[in-house]
Amino acid sequence: METPGTLIALLHGPDQTGLVARVAGWIFERGGNILHADQHRDREAGIFFQRIEWEPKGGDASADTAAFYEFAASIGMNARVLSSAQRARVALFVSKADHCFHDVVLRWKEGELRCDLVAVVSNHADLEGIARGYGIPFHHLPVTADTKAAAEAKQVALLKTLDIDLVVLARYMQVLSADFLQAFGKPVINIHHSFLPAFAGGKPYHQAHARGVKLIGATAHYATRDLDEGPIINQDVARVTHRHGVDDLIRKGRDLEKTVLAQAVRWHLEGRVLVYGNKTVVFD
């Protein structure tokens, strides 16, 4: 990803003999230079997955992109092609909790996240001064039960005006409706403060404490119309004991939330996540 002008293709489709050779051969025949290649086969479903990154001959990314889609279709593969020269435009959705917000912004400022963070959107005004201090435009769009549909329509309009490619929910404590997700039509990554599918919904640390668990976790996933059930990108856990109260679980969980979300966003931006059904393949 650090090499300018590279292309990344994510492919999946029915497994068949010779796919790796045919993809590599196509790139070779066009004068391209393969930098990275990884593949996986789902033996139960009979599906082949591949991520391949290459330098097109003469840096002609646009010609290779269009041609690769045609090639992939000819061998029965679904494909998505990304260019490392194009930086995704990202909007960060927040509420009042600021730990994931700070972490994502600081990683972006340090160059860890290859994107343009162009907006912070919130249903509260608490983080406005901090966002503007970071130099990021802040958009306060209040949401109540009575105004949710209208507020989401304003959010979608804003995202389209800003040409946003990805929304990151950094502990945005609102459930996005199916209408919002359909109208936006692009990926939304959420961080949920539990090891899904356990303790979905509200107050998962309270649920975990009441259940007496010995592990707590955090889950980054793509948002879908079904609450906390979208394809999982990244997860991690921390050990807890009977000596830990709810506040301890929340404190330990915040560390998990930050790292799990940041890694998921990084993998997405680097074109390492391939979604199929309600699952993902995450390439190294």
Catalytic residues, by residue number, are 228
Two tokens, residue 278 = 């309600």
Backbone angles phi, psi at 190, to 5 degrees: -115, 150
Q: Which residue has the tokens 């996240």?
A: 113
Residues 6+ apart with CB under 8 A from 214: 239, 240, 241
Two tokens, residue 249 = 């679980």
271: left (phi over 0), alpha (psi -120 to 50) or beta: left
Q: Which residue has the tokens 């646009």?
A: 62
Two tokens, residue 195 = 């090891």
Task: Answer for the pair 101, 171: CB distance below 8 angstroms, yes or no.
Answer: yes
Could you tell me how many residues make up the chain? 284
